[in-house]
Structure 1
Amino acid sequence: AKKCPLSMVKQIIRPKKYESIDEIKHFIEKNMNKEIEMNGAEIGNEEYIRIISQKWFNDQIINYYLQLIKKYAKEVFNTKVYVFSTYFFPSLQSKGVEVVKKWIEHLGIFDYQFLFFPIHNNSHWSFVTVNLKENDEIEYWDSLDSSYTQSFKIENPETEDLPNGMSYRIWTIIRPILLLLRAERFRLKKQLYTTKITKIRCPQQPNGIDCGLYVCLFARGRICGKTMPYRIRTYELRLKLCYEIMVGEIVYDFDHQFNEPIH
């Protein structure tokens, strides 16, 4: 068999993994005007400033980074993830399941292992995952309200009242998602399950601005099966997240730390 000449072999060049804070900051500063787009999520100067200036994450940042995680999950772990836009859940709450269920009929959601729902509710970001390979098990991640783990089982969300021990706020998030999944299963004549819902014990943010960052980290950890440490260097994580957005790829290991701490 003939060998392809080296000039014909497509080389995959991975983005550089900077180990110096100064180097990664220099790269970011040089690329602050870079505009990028992925699956409808657009990022530009405003988003970069938000990320590195310790500001609250907007929809574009969350949507873009979760698309990177979706790509990373497939390439590294061969895990199929469907990521719903941050704009999906508000529509589900306001328009109701009967309207929104028509939007997902073409998606083939049961061909995926995970569904990711970034949730924006009352000026706060939280995160919901659905594990479709585990009987639609739902996990709720919240950096302001998940200091301990709780589990619930729901047989029929159409008739059940607020589950004993679950806060009304969380139920108003989980119930529409449950009803949507149930409607799609019913349409496809798939088995209906008693659904396990778990409010995950997870690290709590130390301020009022990092909820979006935590959502990105929860999603990343869920894919690689690792838990965030309870004490994190948020500015370092923001730098890495900004860099990964700029280069369009997850570059750093989940538990990576720079060689020198930020003072």
Structure 2
Amino acid sequence: MGAVAVNRKRTEDSFDFNQQSPCPASKKRRFSFGITSPDSNKPYSSAISRISRYPDAKAPLRREIHAPSRANLRYGLPKPKPYDDAKRRAFDALRFFSKDNKRIIDLGEDKEVPVNVKGAVSEVSSVEVVDCDLEEEEEKKNAHVEPPPSSLRRVDDDTTSSMSLARQEAASSLEAYKKLLQSAERRNSKLEALGFEILFNEKKLSQLRQSRPKPVEKALKVPDEPFIPLTEEEEAQVYCAFSAKNRRKVLVTHANSNIDITGEVLQCLTPSAWLNDEVINVYLELLKERETREPKKYLKCHFFNTFFYKKLVSDSGYNYKAVRRWTTQRKLGYALIDCDMIFVPIHRGVHWTLAVINNRDRKFLYLDSLNGVDSKILNALAKYLGDEAKEKSGKDVDVSSWDMEFVEDLPQQQNGYDCGMFMLKYIDFFSRGLGLYFSQEHMPYFRLRTAKEILRLRAD
């Protein structure tokens, strides 16, 4: 492509794209670098001849070339105008200018034409002419502030914005972590304080237990009677009663209580079985008969059956009238207030416990093989004793000064089925005036011995 050094000013007509072209109206004007003459098929030999086809244009104002602004990058480029499009195409052609070689490098046609640098003009689109002097002056003015390419600026802006967002996110996450750490430290301090309080209270409780005065018990020699082993004949009798052929057979009948003991009922004394009401009530009757036979050898006791407490404390609450006739002088032959101990078996759904009214030591005891506590039971028995004494003996017994003790130092069960057997042995040993000198390992023996005593209807 050719270029001529001229300083020709442009008029407004040069920017009028609605101006009639000197070419015939039937053909559209083309902007090409190889425009041919209307008179001949040969291309123009010089740029001057090509420029002469258009009238001289004089621009009313000098126009400066500006770099794209940040707003264009952010909100998008404006819609190009006709003359802006022509200018863009012209500068696309004039990409590099070499002062040393004094020529303009046209990237459009890859041709190099040496020209005079001073006043060189690149006529690219046959519409717009650029003054090289003005361009050089503008380059000198803006040499110290050379705007970076738009693509680089966009990348820099995106990188800066992304870095700022990343810093903000990091700062926010750090603040959240600090708050979480502070809350965790506060929680840990509270947990440490609670742990210290727990240890302090446990030590204080242990000291109180150690300082509690232990009840003075009489030093009694443990007799061999509670642990007399069964003979071979007695064991054979028990195992025969446990056999399947005797399940529906009535083995014994207790006349005073009118309770029949069948082989199926006696099965509750086999290992790992729960004791039932019939076996417990018959055994308590046998303990009372034992005391009657040898009153000097055993304490004077009364043994309530398993239904007494259910009647005394029903769903409607405490009801003395429901059990008032259970302890008449005609039935018992003695008054409860005259007994040393009164035993009350308690059935709590799937667990047997024992309550004791100890008239001799003026206290109420509660014994649980699982070391449980229930003050409601002892309160009900205290009220019952007052009503019973007033009803049967006409005496006012002040039980407010009596102690209520939940016995802790007692044999504990180590399984889930021996609670009934433990309850019976609490009664047996207390009625003998003995301490509770047995443990879980004695339970298999006590089951066989209880079955033997029921089959013979005699407690030893």
TM-score scaled by length of structure 2? 0.43
* Equivalent position of 1:207 in the other structure: 415
User: Considering only CA atoms, is the larger Rg found in Structure 1 or Structure 2?
Assistant: 2
SS of alignment partner, residue 232 of structure 1: helix
Shift of residue 100, structure 1, vs aligned partner: 2.8
* Equivalent position of 1:133 in the other structure: 360
* Equivalent position of 1:102 in the other structure: 324
SS of alignment partner, residue 205 of structure 1: coil
* Equivalent position of 1:181 in the other structure: 385
Superposed counterparts of 1:57-96, under 5 Å: 57-76=275-294, 77-94=297-314, 96=318
* Equivalent position of 2:398 in the other structure: 192
Larger relative contact order (Cα-Cα within 8 Å, sequence gap ≥ 6) = 1
* Equivalent position of 2:458 in the other structure: 249
Q: How many angstroms apart in 2 are the aligned matches of 1:216 and 1:176? A: 22
One-letter amino acid of the structure 2 residue matched with residue 35 of structure 1: V
One-letter amino acid of the structure 1 residue matched with residue 415 of structure 2: N
* Equivalent position of 1:152 in the other structure: none
One-letter amino acid of the structure 1 residue matched with residue 427 of structure 2: A
Q: How many angstroms apart in 2 are the aligned matches of 1:116 and 1:174? A: 12
Note the alpha carbon deviations across 1:77-111, whole angstroms, 9 max, x for none: 25322111101111111052342352346242123
Note the alpha carbon deviations across 1:102-152, whole angstroms, 9 max, x for none: 2346242123222110110131101111122333x2111110116xxxxxx
Query: Residue 343 of structure 2 contacts residue 356 of structure 2 at CA under 8 Å; is this kept in 1?
Result: yes
Shift of residue 177, structure 1, vs aligned partner: 1.0
In terms of fraction of residues, the more helix-rich structure is 2
One-letter amino acid of the structure 2 residue matched with residue 36 of structure 1: T
Q: CA, structure 1 residues 19+102, in 2 after alignment: closer, same or farther (shift >3 Å)?
A: closer
Shift of residue 44, structure 1, vs aligned partner: 1.9
Q: How many angstroms apart in 1 are the aligned matches of 2:350 and 2:230? A: 34
Q: CA, structure 1 residues 199+186, in 2 after alignment: closer, same or farther (shift >3 Å)?
A: same
Query: Residue 414 of structure 2 contacts residue 440 of structure 2 at CA under 8 Å; is this kept in 1?
Result: no
Superposed counterparts of 1:51-62, under 5 Å: 51-62=269-280
Shift of residue 176, structure 1, vs aligned partner: 1.2
Note the alpha carbon deviations across 1:190-222, whole angstroms, 9 max, x for none: 332311122222111111111110111000110
SS of alignment partner, residue 35 of structure 1: strand
The gaps in structure 1 that reach 5 residues or longer are 1-16, 147-166, 252-263
Segment of structure 1 superposing worse, 82-91 or 194-203:
194-203
Query: Residue 291 of structure 2 contacts residue 299 of structure 2 at CA under 8 Å; is this kept in 1?
Result: yes
* Equivalent position of 1:44 in the other structure: 262
Counterpart of 2:238 (choices 28, 36, 61) is: 28
* Equivalent position of 1:171 in the other structure: 375
One-letter amino acid of the structure 1 residue matched with residue 397 of structure 2: Q
One-letter amino acid of the structure 1 residue matched with residue 395 of structure 2: K
Q: CA, structure 1 residues 81+39, in 2 after alignment: closer, same or farther (shift >3 Å)?
A: farther
One-letter amino acid of the structure 1 residue matched with residue 268 of structure 2: R
One-letter amino acid of the structure 1 residue matched with residue 361 of structure 2: E
Query: Residue 89 of structure 1 contacts residue 117 of structure 1 at CA under 8 Å; is this kept in 2?
Result: yes
Q: CA, structure 1 residues 79+230, in 2 after alignment: closer, same or farther (shift >3 Å)?
A: closer
Q: How many angstroms apart in 1 are the aligned matches of 2:303 and 2:454? A: 16
Query: Residue 101 of structure 1 contacts residue 183 of structure 1 at CA under 8 Å; is this kept in 2?
Result: no
Q: How many residues align?
A: 211
Q: CA, structure 1 residues 38+25, in 2 after alignment: closer, same or farther (shift >3 Å)?
A: same
Q: How many angstroms apart in 2 are the aligned matches of 1:195 and 1:38? A: 38
Query: Residue 138 of structure 1 contacts residue 196 of structure 1 at CA under 8 Å; is this kept in 2?
Result: yes
* Equivalent position of 2:17 in the other structure: none
Q: CA, structure 1 residues 179+52, in 2 after alignment: closer, same or farther (shift >3 Å)?
A: same
Segment of structure 1 superposing worse, 72-81 or 235-244:
72-81
TM-score scaled by length of structure 1? 0.72
Superposed counterparts of 1:213-224, under 5 Å: 213-224=421-432
One-letter amino acid of the structure 2 residue matched with residue 142 of structure 1: D
Q: How many angstroms apart in 2 are the aligned matches of 1:172 and 1:236? A: 34
SS of alignment partner, residue 313 of structure 2: helix
One-letter amino acid of the structure 1 residue matched with residue 306 of structure 2: T
One-letter amino acid of the structure 2 residue matched with residue 97 of structure 1: N
Q: How many angstroms apart in 1 are the aligned matches of 2:313 and 2:431? A: 27
